[in-house]
């Protein structure tokens, strides 16, 4: 198993990311905040923008595959958003609960591993790669006054026991000060040093 780290701009990588993302939306639509129908309409520029921001990183898990031209198949992904790339509306529930006021906030999103490859530690490795990037990244938005502590947040479906267990095993804990939303997503957090 290997990992790829974006941003990257090569056309083959962009197409493979698009296929992986659309597959995730078809296979597990309830796990995401968007739909296959929405993202299938994305232009190449929109897909490129997803992968080229300097303020976030996407990590891809691959496995060997003799049937692929380059010998590998993409089977998992996770994106970590830095403070400069976070959408304000997404963060509103946190602000109302007083979470993260003195922290640089990073966000895990789009975590997915193909069902045929689950249970092999790929998800854990992807999340750990993302956490390491968050730990070492110096985002310009909040680092003007020197280094601040960092908190990584994510939302997970309350009923997604396997996903919650993965995040807990990596060190995340439930943020009970923020209620589960109407779609059943709950917040989890991890402080990184």
Contacts 24+ apart (CB under 8 A), 117-122: 117/61, 117/63, 117/75, 117/76, 118/162, 120/1, 122/1, 122/61, 122/75, 122/76
The CATH number for 83's domain is 3.40.630.30
User: Considering just the CA atoms, what is the radius of gyration of the chain in Å?
Assistant: 16
Place of tokens 């990073």: 106
Non-local CB neighbours of 109 within 8 Å, separated by 6+ positions: 78, 79, 80, 81, 154
Which pLDDT value is given to residue 3? 57
Global confidence as pTM: 0.88
Structural contact between residues 28 and 112, judged by C-beta atoms closer than 8 angstroms: yes
The pair of structure tokens assigned to 32 is 């995401």
Q: How many domains does the chain have?
A: 1
Helix boundaries (H) for 54-173? 88-96, 122-136, 161-170
**Domain containing 11: what range?**
2-192
Compare 147 and 94 and report the one with higher pLDDT.
94
The pair of structure tokens assigned to 126 is 């992807």
pLDDT in tens, 97-127: 777 777 888 999 999 999 999 999 999 999 9
């Amino acid at each position: 198993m290997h990992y790829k780290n974006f941003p990257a701009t090569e056309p083959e990588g962009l197409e493979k990311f698009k296929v992986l993302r659309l597959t995730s939306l078809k296979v597990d639509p309830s796990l995401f905040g968007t739909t296959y129908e929405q993202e299938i309409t994305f232009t190449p520029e929109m897909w490129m923008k997803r992968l080229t921001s300097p303020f976030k990183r996407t990590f891809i898990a691959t496995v060997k595959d003799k049937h692929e031209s380059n010998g590998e198949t993409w089977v998992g992904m996770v994106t970590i958003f830095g403070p400069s790339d976070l959408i304000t509306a997404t963060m509103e529930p946190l602000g109302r609960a007083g979470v993260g006021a003195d922290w640089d906030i990073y966000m895990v999103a789009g975590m997915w591993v193909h069902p045929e490859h689950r249970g092999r530690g790929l998800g854990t490795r992807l999340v750990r790669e993302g956490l390491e990037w968050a730990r070492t990244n110096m985002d310009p938005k909040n680092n003007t006054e020197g280094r601040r502590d960092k908190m990584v947040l994510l939302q997970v479906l309350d009923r997604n026991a396997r996903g919650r267990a993965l995040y807990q095993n990596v060190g995340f804990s439930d943020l009970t000060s923020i209620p589960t939303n109407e779609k059943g997503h709950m917040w989890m957090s991890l402080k990184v040093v």
